[in-house]
Amino acid sequence: MSSRSVLSTLFALALFAPDSVAAEPAGVSFTTEVVPTLTKLGCNTGGCHGKAEGQNGFKLSLFGFEPQDDYEYIAKEARGRRVFAAAPAQSLLLLKATGSVPHGGGKRLDTQSDAYELLKRWVVEGARSSPANAPSLERIEVQPGSKLLQRGEKLQASVVAHFRDGSKRDVTRLAVLEAGPADLLAVDANGAVSAKQQSGSATLTARYMDAVAVARITIPFGTPVTKLPPAKTVADELVFKQLKELGLPPSELCDDATFLRRATIDICGRLPTKEEAEAFAKENGADKYEKLIDRLLASPDYADYFANKWSALLRNRRNAPNEDAKPNVAFHAWIRDGLKDNKPFDAFVRELLTATGPVDDNPRAVWYRELKDSANLAEDVAQLFLGQRVACAKCHHHPHDRWTQGDYWSLAAAFARTDVQLATALKKGDPKKNIPDTPGQPLTVALKSGTATMPHPRTNAKLFPAGLDGKPFALSDDADPREKLAEWVTATDNPYFARTLVNRYWKHFFSRGLVDPEDDMSATNPASNPELLDALAKRFVADKYDTKKLIRLICTSNVYRLSSTPNDHNANDKQHFARFYPRRLNAEVLLDAIDAVALAKTPFRGVPAGTRAVQLPDNQSDSYFLSVFGRPDGASACECERNSDANLAQALLLMNSEELLAKIGAPPPAPKTDPKAKPNPNAGPKAAPGERLTKLLADKRPHAEKLRDLYLVALSREPMKDELAILVGHIEKKGDDRAAYADILWALLNTKEFLFNH
């Protein structure tokens, strides 16, 4: 038996036989004190001794999750030089950690510290290991739990470890403590917590051995909330409730033009038309907002826009423009049609997870093609539909969550029989030798025969398909384990599924998830408003996973109608939705919006003429514009792949590119470069000139009327008096309508009001 499997067996004993425990010898415990101390000092992180190959010959298990291995490394290896009982202070472990001898990691430990005393005492006591059947850790708790702190207030937190033999002890000094966000809350190594001068919700996290615990710390703003818009939905009720508790007054409701533009962009991924803007301004009736949301959700633009979102998340991509686009177009259409028909989200996921057959009948095979193996599939399922990033547990215990390698590979086992057969090309035969052509095979998702199982990478034990709750699926011999997986994922009592989707959609509309990042819903990353998350999830389940109903609930809430203009109290709020958080139009929406204003058409390769950017089926329509504005490449299941950051290349593009200047219809710039210079073979298709400028010049109405129309198209509102004065003044001063209107188009497209959904 290898030492590794011996250790694993011992470990298994510790896990499964909690009753047969042996008391630790008196003195310092290796498992519950020494290893956590090394963890706290940072010795066993992945960048230092915790990495697979160790550091300069000294290896530790990553984050101390394998204390039995660590004992070998520390006490037995290196001919015992690391611990030296005869002269404990000369132990290499201490000399290195205190920087007394050169140490790549620098000085980690002070000789005056308690941690130093503890490690030294352990050596003095004979550097004993802990018995394998010592009481194992059940859980830890942070005291006090969730708590209100005033700005600047201090607090001593403690961490208590509960062992399976019923014993408990204070491990504050052994636990790794973290507080965040950094501008709200800080904690030192001994558990002294201090609230900073900013208000909001913060978390205090403790980690000890393989357990984590979190306390939510609320630092109230303390302004009486006297004026609230009426609560129309459960979202209103619970957001406003929290704002009252926090003393954080929300902004006013925004004006109708802003709301129309906001909702049309968020639901349909486009600007409202001039006609829509005019009609909405005139529309009366208290239910005009509900009616607007219903209209938007019923329009095909909704399906286009959300298909754009899901297509990237489901990796609908090609690696090169010359790859066959048919499967991608079909997969995109499957996504879009599902959204158009408002297919319940559980059905959508079930169809995806159980997809079988050749790509012609089963365009979802594209997702399988991109993910290829069961581990990747499991990771994407967890991230997309369960809000869990399990990837760490592929190779070791998840460092900040509960997932074990067993959890990971049991989930992956659900795909163990999935056989992704890539497309093959036609093989030419030889008619002379009577060898016929071998036809190519299409991309196919098939099911292998046999029992679905995965080996545990450490123990080699057979792992059978199971959900993240660890309960193996009941499988008959020929059942497709993916059916059971889909059943478990979409079950109404799955604690992750509904919450993940409602959180993801909440973020779509509010820029920030209730849990953020939206696909990291682990214990250590609690929701900013847990009650709201629960309520939305419950409603989503009760509504039979109806995504349109969910969007309707969110968008008809008065929270979604709050102005982005801060009041005296909420400018710094980025967590509690006391105002609308503006965000730049995303790449595709912005390009379409510019085209709508300039009356231009951006040509894309390989798609029907007139296809707008949000309608593109996959990532392979080459566009410098989309790339620079951060369109995702469909290469991960993370929404973070879409990059909404501003950068200089964007500013240059909008202010000074041939592409934009052509769209606004300005005369082509004089060639400044060498006329003989060869065109860049990588340049995208040329942008067609926009027609807006010509139309404006041909329009014989007064400037003020033409400008009014232009404003309705670009900003969904009429220009203010001051704006008209500036613009008409500019036209008159310039004395050249063509140049003046080109200037106006240029300026309008570069205003923050245009570039942002606000």
Partner 1 sequence: MFSVFGSGRTRTCAGLSRRELLRVGSLSLGGLSLPGLLATKAQAANPTTAFRDKAVVMLFLVGGPPQIETFDPKENVPDNIKSCTGEVQTALAGVKFGGTFPKMGARADRLAVVRSFGSTDGGHNQLPVITGRSPMKSPMAAIVARALGAMNPKTGVPTNTVIVPEAIKPDLKLNNPTGPFQLDYAVKNYLPAGGVGRAYDGFMPSGSDTLMKNLQLQMAQADFDDRQSLLGKLDGLKRTLDKTGEVAGIDAFQRQAAEVLAKGIADAFDLSKEDPKTVAKYDTGHLFNMDDYHKGGKNYNNLVNQSRATNLLGKQMLLARRLVERGAGFVTVLDGCWDFHADGNNPSCPVGMSFLGPQLDHAVAAFLDDLKDRGLEDKVLLIITGEMGRSPAKGKNGGTGHHADITPLVLAGGGLKMGQVIGKSDKTGAKPVTKAYKPEHLLATVLHTMFDASAVRTNSALLPAEVANLVNAGQPISELF
d(CA 480, CA 486): 10
User: Residue 179 — left, alpha, or beta (φ > 0 → left; ψ -120 to 50 → alpha)?
Assistant: beta
User: Is 580 in contact with 251 (CB distance < 8 Å)?
Assistant: yes
- Long-range contacts formed by 236-244: CB under 8 A, 24+ apart: 236/557, 236/558, 236/559, 238/529, 238/531, 238/532, 238/535, 239/529, 239/532, 239/557, 239/559, 239/576, 239/577, 240/559, 241/531, 242/529, 242/531, 242/532, 242/576, 243/576, 243/578
- C-alpha–C-alpha distance, residues 536 and 527, integer Å: 13
Number of residues that bind partner 1 (CB under 8 A): 106
Minimum CB–partner distance for residue 290 and partner 1 (Å): 27
Determine which residue in the list 392, 591, 594, 712 makes contact with partner 1, applying CB under 8 A.
Answer: 392
**Cα–Cα distance for residue pair 367/377, rounded to 1 Å:** 9
Please state the closest distance from residue 490 (CB atom) to partner 1, in A. 24
How many Cα atoms within 13 Å fall on the side-chain side of residue 160?
A: 9
Q: Please identify, using beta-carbon distances, which residue of 205 and 311 lies nearer to partner 1.
A: 205
**Residues 714-733 close enough to bind partner 1 by CB under 8 A:** 720, 722-723, 726-727, 730
What tokens were used for 479?
């059942």
Binder among 77, 487, 531, 641 for partner 1 (CB under 8 A): 641
Rule CB under 8 A: which of 91-110 touch partner 1?
108
Closest approach of partner 1 to the CB of residue 208, in Å? 12
Q: 296 or 377, CB closer to partner 1?
A: 377
Pick one of 360, 683, 705, 732: the residue that binds partner 1 (CB under 8 A). Answer: 683
Residue 341 near partner 1 by CB under 8 A: no
Spatial distance between the Cα atoms of 177 and 205, rounded to a whole number of angstroms = 6
Residue closer to partner 1 (CB basis): 355 or 710: 710
Alpha-carbon distance of 372 to 611, in angstroms, equals 30
Q: Determine, following the binding rule CB under 8 A, whether residue 669 of this chain makes contact with partner 1.
A: yes
The answer to whether residue 673 forms part of the interface with partner 1 (CB under 8 A) is yes
Minimum distance from residue 116 beta carbon to partner 1 (Å): 16
Q: Which of 71/629 has CB closer to partner 1?
A: 629
From residue 411, alpha-carbon distances to 460, 470, 474, 475, 490 in Å are 16, 9, 14, 14, 15
For residues 464 and 581, which CB has a smaller minimum distance to partner 1 in the complex? 581
Considering only 430, 645, 698, 700, the residue that binds partner 1 (CB under 8 A) is 645
Window 175-204: residues binding partner 1 (CB under 8 A): 176, 178, 180-183, 203
Q: Which of 146, 153, 145 is nearest to 195 (CA)?
A: 153
447 binds partner 1 (CB under 8 A): no
* Interface with partner 1 in residues 241-280 (CB under 8 A): none
Q: Which residue's CB is nearer to partner 1, number 99 or number 180? A: 180
CA dihedral (545, 546, 547, 548) in degrees, to 10, reads -170
Map residue 386 onto helix, strand or coil. coil
Residues ≥6 apart with Cβ < 8 Å to 234: 532, 535, 536, 539, 553
Kindly identify the residues of this chain, within the stretch 273-332, that bind partner 1 according to CB under 8 A: 319
Q: Does residue 525 bind partner 1 (CB under 8 A)? A: yes
User: Of residues 4, 10, 51, 694, which one binds partner 1 by CB under 8 A?
Assistant: 51
Span near partner 1 by CB under 8 A; candidates 37-45, 75-83, 334-342, 468-476: 37-45
* Shortest spacing between CB 681 and partner 1, in angstroms: 6
Task: Kindly state the smallest distance separating residue 338's Cβ from partner 1, in Å.
Answer: 25
Nearest 10 degrees: CA dihedral of 592, 596, 600, 602?
10
β-bridge mates for residue 454, sequence order: 463
Q: Which string of x and - marks every residue 738-757 that binds partner 1 (by CB under 8 A)? A: -x---xx-xxx-xxxx-xx-
The secondary structure of 16-81 as a DSSP string is H-TTS--PPPSS--IIIIIHHHHHHHTTTSTTTTTSTT-BTTB---GGGS-HHHHHIIIIISGGGT
Q: Which of 400, 417, 482, 569 binds partner 1 (CB under 8 A)?
A: 400
Using CB under 8 A as the criterion, what x/- string covers residues 403-422 for binding partner 1? --------------------
What is the maximum alpha-carbon separation in the chain? 100
Please identify, among the stretches 277-285, 438-446, 489-497, 678-686, the one whose residues bind partner 1 according to the rule CB under 8 A. Answer: 678-686
DSSP string, 77-90: SGGGTSS-TTSGGG
For residue 444, list its beta bridge partners: 358, 421
472 binds partner 1 (CB under 8 A): no
Among 41, 97, 157, 498, binds partner 1 (CB under 8 A): 41
Residue 536: Cβ-neighbour burial (10 angstroms; 0-12, 13-18, 19+): buried
Interface with partner 1 in residues 621-640 (CB under 8 A): 624, 627-630, 633, 635-636, 638-640
**What is the per-residue burial (b if ≥16 Cβ within 10 Å, else e) of 659-684?**
bbbbbbbbeeeeeeeeeeeeeeeeeb
Closer residue to partner 1 in complex, CB, 394/549: 394
Q: Least Å distance between CB 646 and partner 1? A: 5
Q: Which one, 393 or 414, has the nearer CB to partner 1? A: 393
* Rounded-to-integer distance, Cα 269 and Cα 272, Å: 10
Q: Which listed range, 41-49, 162-170, 241-249, 692-700, lies at the site for partner 1 (CB under 8 A)?
A: 41-49
Near partner 1 in 369-388, by CB under 8 A: 383
Q: How far is the CB of 642 from partner 1 (least distance, A)?
A: 10
Residue from 100, 113, 342, 643 touching partner 1 (CB under 8 A): that is 643
Query: Are the C-beta atoms of residues 399 and 62 closer than 8 Å to each other?
Result: yes
Which CB sits closer to partner 1, 201 or 490? Answer: 201
**Residue 712 contacts partner 1 per CB under 8 A:** no
* Smallest separation, CB 445 to partner 1 (Å): 23
Between residue 533 and residue 592, which ones bind partner 1 under the rule CB under 8 A? 564-566, 571-572, 574, 579, 581-584
Q: Determine, following the binding rule CB under 8 A, whether residue 704 of this chain makes contact with partner 1.
A: no
> Residue 26 CB, nearest distance to partner 1 (Å)?
31
Tokens representing residue 210 in the block = 């393989």
Q: Which of 269, 399, 665, 690 binds partner 1 (CB under 8 A)?
A: 399
Q: Write the DSSP symbol of residue 4.
A: H
If one asks whether residue 211 binds partner 1 (CB under 8 A), the answer comes out as: no
Q: Does 207 bind partner 1 (CB under 8 A)?
A: yes
Which residue in the set 95, 118, 155, 391 belongs to the binding site for partner 1 (CB under 8 A)?
391
DSSP 751: S
Q: Are 337 and 300 within 8 A, CB to CB?
A: no
